[in-house]
Amino acid sequence: MEFLIHFLVLLPLFMAAVIIHEVSHGWVALSLGDPTARLSGRLTLNPLKHIDPVGTVFLPLFLLLLNAPFVFGWAKPVPVNALLLRHPKRDMLWVGLSGPAANFLLAAFTAALLRLGAGFIPPLGAGLGKALVLINLVLGTFNLLPIPPLDGSRVLTGLLPVSLAKGVLALERWGIALVFLLLYFGVMQRIVWPVVLSLARWLGVG
């Protein structure tokens, strides 16, 4: 029963974080000339438009069952057509950065509210706020890893020469398998989680 309550409390926070992440990709792509996300009906905060069975439900549930110190995953990717962007190679870098940037901004905004409301926010509200900060920091940090299909690979390919960028993008077909391989080799515990804790302390919620 306690686990179920924990899951039901954290799931909406997690879904809010991944939805804002994906919608940010779509809005930046639109501002740079690609209306694909808008035409696909994905520039919305409606959770039903963004749920991915594995990334939005199964993986967070699995991590909670393992009593992992973090919860992360993904929503259904917002479609982006690089060919419609005004400067495809450069603009994909900004599209890639926009999702993690949105998560970091949401984490910073929530942390600021917690500091301003210290002494007034009830313990439950403070706990939920801290959870929202950590979830967003995890999502932002993990997605910046320069490995397809994560957003960091978009940033990397925007910086690399075309010949090398094509080699990075060729790895994307392995997508989900690469993500779970990262988990198996402990990238969360060894890289992402230490960065998240440092950022959380810097924001005053560590």
Give catalytic residue positions.
22
Looking at residue 27, its amino acid is: W
Q: How far is residue 56's CA from residue 78's CA, in Å, rounded to a whole number?
A: 14
Structure tokens at 57: 């439900």
